[in-house]
Amino acid sequence: MNFNDYKEYISEKTMMGPNSVRILEELFSRYPLELASDDEILDLGCGTGLTSLVIAKETGAKVYANDLWVNAEDNAKRFTEWGIGEQVIPVCEDANNLHFNEKQFNALVSIDSFHYFAGKAGFFQNKILPFMKDKSAILIGIPGLKNEYTGRANELLSNWLGDEAYLFKSPNHWKEIIGNHDRIETVETWEMGCFNKAWNEWLTSDHEFARGDKQHFETIIKPYTCFVGIYVKLK
């Protein structure tokens, strides 16, 4: 994937946090998805659909762009403007209560959103696994805590995140949370390498939330947090 192909789409209007295209770039270079045009991918927590655009262009597959806070009509408008209206289907549903078909998806990708709803044991098995085909792949990139601070999110991050600090968990902790199942072949979690680039591109954007994050970057965000990569391969 060539990051420069997507530069024109990345702005304070489409970004909702550290540059999600950088996170996707790392996930796709580590675990390339090889899919056909009639395969189907779920972009879970797609926000404004910037990630859905990249997933659609990079894989050629059909993408279901699901989000809770951004409504499907707004995303549909953007997808039409971007010329991907035929390939990307906007959906507005809570990840806790999705209505897709059993074993519908060949892959699931979720950037900067999985931590909001999936941080409890059993979520993956009960809420995600039923929609995934055999041999499918799941790629997730989310903000979290560095392994050495596992379990200390409230103590270390509250001045920045308030009562949402508990959402940040380490790569080791996420491996435990995803857990096991007889349909799961492997679960890998790691601290991602794109941290500096993705944060720098967010902090230098004109987004109003970036201004708040800037105040905490050197003292909290950089020393204690990371991006957690999660890869799950099904049997």
Among 1, 31, 68, 193, binds ligand SAM (CB under 6 A): 68
Q: Are the C-beta atoms of 227 and 142 separated by less than 8 Å?
A: yes
* Member of 10, 33, 41, 50 binding ligand SAM (CB under 6 A): 50
One-letter amino acid of 79: F
SS3 145: strand
Q: Which stretch binds ligand SAM (CB under 6 A): 93-101, 150-158, 162-170, 179-187?
A: 93-101
| Position 203 contacts ligand SAM (CB under 6 A) | no
Q: Are 109 and 51 in contact (CB under 8 A)?
A: yes
- Residue in 3, 116, 217, 231 binding ligand SAM, rule: CB under 6 A: 116
Q: Which residue is nearest to ligand SAM, using beta carbons?
A: 47
Rule CB under 6 A: is residue 217 a binding residue for ligand SAM?
Answer: no
Residue 45, interface with ligand SAM (CB under 6 A)?
yes
- In this structure, what token pair is assigned to residue 193? 């390498």
Quick check: 17 binds ligand SAM (CB under 6 A)? Answer: yes
- Residues 217, 199: contact at Cβ < 8 Å? yes
- Our finding on whether 94 is near ligand SAM (CB under 6 A) is yes
Answer for the pair 92, 68: CB distance below 8 angstroms, yes or no: yes
Q: CA–CA separation, 121 vs 118, rounded Å?
A: 8
Specify the residue, 68 or 234, whose C-beta has the smaller distance to ligand SAM.
Answer: 68
In a 10 Å sphere around its CB, with 0-12 CB exposed, 13-18 middle and 19+ buried, how is residue 64 labelled?
buried
d(CA 90, CA 93): 10
**Does 28 interact with ligand SAM (rule: CB under 6 A)?**
no
Min dist. Cβ of residue 68 to ligand SAM (A):
4
Residue 46 is a binding residue for ligand SAM (CB under 6 A): yes
- By CB under 6 A, which span of 83-91, 108-116, 131-139, 185-193 interacts with ligand SAM? 108-116
Diameter over CA atoms, the chain: 47
Q: What minimum distance in Å lies between the beta carbon of 235 and ligand SAM?
A: 27
Q: Does residue number 144 form part of the binding site for ligand SAM (CB under 6 A)?
A: no
> Nearest Cα to 160, choosing from 143, 148, 137?
143
Please tell me whether residue 117 binds ligand SAM under the rule CB under 6 A. yes
